[in-house]
Amino acid sequence: MSNRNNYTAKMTLKKQNRSAAGLVSERFPYVSDIIIHMTYYQKGPNPVLMLRTVNVFPSSYAYFKMDCMIKDCDGGGFDLTPVIAEMVKTHKKVKKGSLVCHGKTDYHSHEHASIDYDIMIKYNKKSERHRDKLHI
């Protein structure tokens, strides 16, 4: 398969995955805003690859798998979906952590990249009333 066809296939799959994830408003109806700050790291002499902020709104897809930024990484990335789902389930507003990319690449080790993340979730007023009724 040519590089162009491979890229097109990956982009099509990514669009399908985003659509299948549904919208934030459907999956997490009490969430009004999610802010994800990430620092991407790579192995090597200049470890900080990129700083990135992703703003997620109720109208956004509930797809939280971030791509690995190392060129030619296959099957890698950083899936924040379980982190965010647990935060919403426990009504947590802030969480920090790290993830390692386990993708494959011809030129780098199996732990060629990682991220540190800082996630902030804002909940709508309806969420606070719902929590009070449940005495959570």
pLDDT digits (tens, 9 = 90+) for 71-129: 788 888 999 999 999 999 999 999 999 999 988 877 656 568 999 999 999 999 765 55
pLDDT computed for residue 91 by the predictor:
96
- Residue 47 corresponds to which amino acid? P
Residue with tokens 């979906």: 81
The pTM for the full model equals 0.81
pLDDT computed for residue 136 by the predictor:
43
pLDDT computed for residue 84 by the predictor:
97
Confidence class of residue 64 from pLDDT cuts 50, 70 and 90?
Answer: very high
**Count of the separate structural domains present in the chain:** 1
Mean pLDDT of 28-49: 93
- Which residues constitute the domain of residue 13? 3-134
Per-residue DSSP letter, 68: P
Burial letters 23-34, b for 16+ CB under 10 A, else e: bbeebbebbbeb
38 strand-pairing partners: 52, 117
